[in-house]
Chain A
Amino acid sequence: MNENKHPIKKVNIICAKSNIEDIYAALVMGNGAVMEGIEANLFFTFFGLEGIVKKWMKKPHTAVVGNPGMRMPGLGSRMPTLMGIIPGVEAMVSGMMRKQMDDLDVPPIEEFLDLYTAGGGKVYACKLAMDMFKLKKEDLTEHVSGVLTVGEFYELAGGEGSQIIFT
């Protein structure tokens, strides 16, 4: 193993976007940290709140319009952006993506948060974004430990060997 004189002791991961890949990037990194014995805080803000609002977190979507990385399943060619505007395409592609992740044992958001918090990981929501979207603490999944201001987030993120990661 690499001997590191300054190992990461804590990660503070900010998720500000709602696409499947944005939410999962934060979840995989947070859960991965907990699995390595690293303290982890996940901070959901703006559209990232999609990942912790009870009624929204079940079926996250990915962008099919204006996403040059989106390729046609099985063909490998780029998906024409105009195809993305056809009703149902976004839901279908998102459903396929969720299915593929499930096959790789990447759990749905709720189950992922169960695993993450069982390992001691913490979840927080951004106060400003909550106010903007007119959301209340009751709208959030029970995995959320608190609603924080940016100042409180920085306080929480302090300490030696601590990193702030904006996904």
Chain B
Amino acid sequence: MATKNYAGKTVDVNEEGYFTDPSQWTKEIAKEVAKEEGIELTDQHFPVLEMLRQKNDAGEALSIRGINKSGVVDVKTFYQLFPGAPLKKATKIAGIPKPSSCV
């Protein structure tokens, strides 16, 4: 298993850079992961990251529909906050596994 250094801490990641232990995540770490993905985190990003982490904790499968229904963010904003591959990037920054859903 690989490790990476973010904000002075060592975290365990898989070969794609996703956290293998979500509890190692902090907001400071998230900012550095986001930078690697070309995203500057703002106050708008954190509620979304928290929501994703909560859904992951609850064992919920992450889908773009679920995010739209979460009440935290609508899909259009979600795409704007995490441009490119939104769900993949957002989960990486949120320190949770890569989603396995097709929708």
Which of A's residues lie within 8 Å of B, judged by CB?
1, 28, 31-32, 34-37, 104-107, 111, 114-115, 118-120
Contacts and interface: CB of A to CB of B under 8 A. Distances in A.
B102 A118 contact: no
A118 B74 CA distance: 9
B1 interface: no
Given A1-B16, A28-B103, A105-B103, A118 B76 contact: yes
Interface of B: 16, 61, 63-66, 68, 74-76, 79, 83-88, 101-103
A105 B76 CA distance: 18
Nearest to B89: A37
Contacts of A32: 102-103
B66 A35 contact: no
Contacts of A104: 103
Nearest to A119: B79
B72 to A, nearest CB: 15
A101 to B, nearest CB: 9
B102 A115 contact: no
Contact of B102 (A28, A34, A119): A28
Given A104-B103, A114-B68, 7 more contacts: A31-B64, A35-B64, A37-B86, A115-B68, A118-B74, A118-B75, A120-B79
Contacts of B64: 31, 35, 115, 119
Given A37-B84, A105-B101, A118 B65 contact: no
A29 to B, nearest CB: 9
Contacts of B75: 114-115, 118-119
B61 A105 contact: yes
Contacts of B88: 35-36
* A-B CB proximity, top 6 nearest: A37-B84, A118-B75, A118-B76, A37-B85, A105-B63, A119-B79
27 contacts: A28-B102, A31-B103, A34-B79, A35-B85, A35-B87, A35-B88, A37-B83, A37-B84, A37-B85, A104-B103, A105-B61, A105-B65, A105-B101, A105-B103, A106-B103, A107-B103, A114-B68, A115-B64, A115-B65, A115-B68, A115-B75, A118-B68, A118-B74, A118-B76, A119-B75, A119-B79, A119-B86
